[in-house]
Structure 1
Amino acid sequence: MERRSHDRTEASIDVEIRHLHGCCRGHIRDLGGCSVFVEIEGGNYPATGSLVQLNFGIDTGWCRISRQASGEVARWDERGVAIRFDAGDGISCAVIEEILYYQRMEQRQDRLLTATDAA
């Protein structure tokens, strides 16, 4: 049963997750307004309920920028971890909105290039 209340956007964004017991790296597979799913490379998963710091590397099309957000691990499985953000945390929510903006912009560019190639 689907429990998400927000739309999801597919993504491929590098991220580092820092937690109490270390850090791990991965790629955001999809994100919504309040959460992300990160596919982890290797182990060292943070436990469910852990508070984490996410460090994002975002390609804007012009340059690569770094952003940070704080969240809580909602769940994990063999592929990665789901992290949710507190809707009251304006900074983390703004970071996710910025990432969504650049993802949508990249998807529009891809559609334009595909349409141009087909013409």
Structure 2
Amino acid sequence: MAQTASDKTAELEAQIATLKADIGALTKTIGEYGKLQQQALSSTANAKVHELQSLANSTAKDLQAKGVEAGQVARASVEKGYADTEAAVRENPAAAVGIATGLGFLAGLLVARK
């Protein structure tokens, strides 16, 4: 019986050693899986960041182009208005002087009220 008890003890010790080795292997496998998942998520996040940066740069360039275009349109409109006003003054100089005098008088009244 002593032999049987020591055989069972040895068998249990062998099984415990096998379980320890299996648990160690599982721990290592789970750690490696975690690292792979971290790398995959990091790679995906970096790709999204680059995609968003590209989109932001593209949008900024589009907005800049639209701003430049709007500025050019506004400048052309102001230049046309200036040319039209200059032509009107050259055609009717007396009316232009009268209008300027009237506007100056109104501005003087508004300033004097304060």
Structures share a fold, TM > 0.5? no
Counting strand residues as a fraction of each chain, which structure ranks higher? 1
Higher helix share: 2
Query: Normalised by the size of structure 1, how large is the TM-score?
Result: 0.26
Q: Which has the larger radius of gyration?
A: 2
Q: TM-score, normalised by structure 2?
A: 0.28
